[in-house]
Amino acid sequence: FSVLNNSRPKRRAAAKEVELTNGGGAAPRRLRRPSWTPPGIAFPFIWGTITVLRGVSSAVVFSSTQAFFTPAFAAMLLHLSIGDTWNTITNIEKRLGVSAVVAYLVAASVYATVYLYYSASSLAGYLLAPSAVWLTVATSLCTAIWRINSPLQPLYPVPSDKKASALRFEKYLPKSEEEEKKTN
């Protein structure tokens, strides 16, 4: 549902650019990672578990509130939107500095969401809490990856680096005069 390209890295297409590290996880050869990086195989299990816990905790919130339009659900939607944006910045645009900054926003949004879920139902808050724990680790990991890869990338998007991701519906937007001249 995102207007940004949030596709995950394709392992087969990138096979020529990667080497297997940390027990089977693919990592670009030129990207250094801290020694405490979890093995690549752990990520699908971590995110799969978090996805199930999000669903179950949301069902508990709904059961408790009998409403979809609640501060808890609004916080979850905001958290998911920030997470999708982080994914584009990290996996599509490959902006390590911006990724590190936005990871803190993802973590802050999950903390707020856990609080609001807990306010609606303590069980829902406890079910969602592992997400906050993992995103704290992930934020530290993003920051460490940015810091150990030199030269340090800027902490803000730089238009001149031409890494900006295209919108999914960009082909349907009106073209600028400059773009029209290029196509004619």
Secondary structure of the chain in the HEC alphabet? CCCECCCCCCCCCCHHHEEEECCCEEEECCCCCCCCCCCCCHHHHHHHHHHHHHHHHHHHHHHHHCCCCCHHHHHHHHHHHHHHHHHHHHHHCCCHHHHHHHHHHHHHHHHHHHHHHHHHCHHHHHHHHHHHHHHHHHHHHHHHHHHHCCCCCCCCCCHHHCCCCCECCHHHCCCCHHHHHHHC
Q: What percent of the chain has pLDDT over 70?
A: 76
What confidence tens digit (pLDDT) does each residue in 54-67 have? 999 999 999 999 99
pTM: 0.79
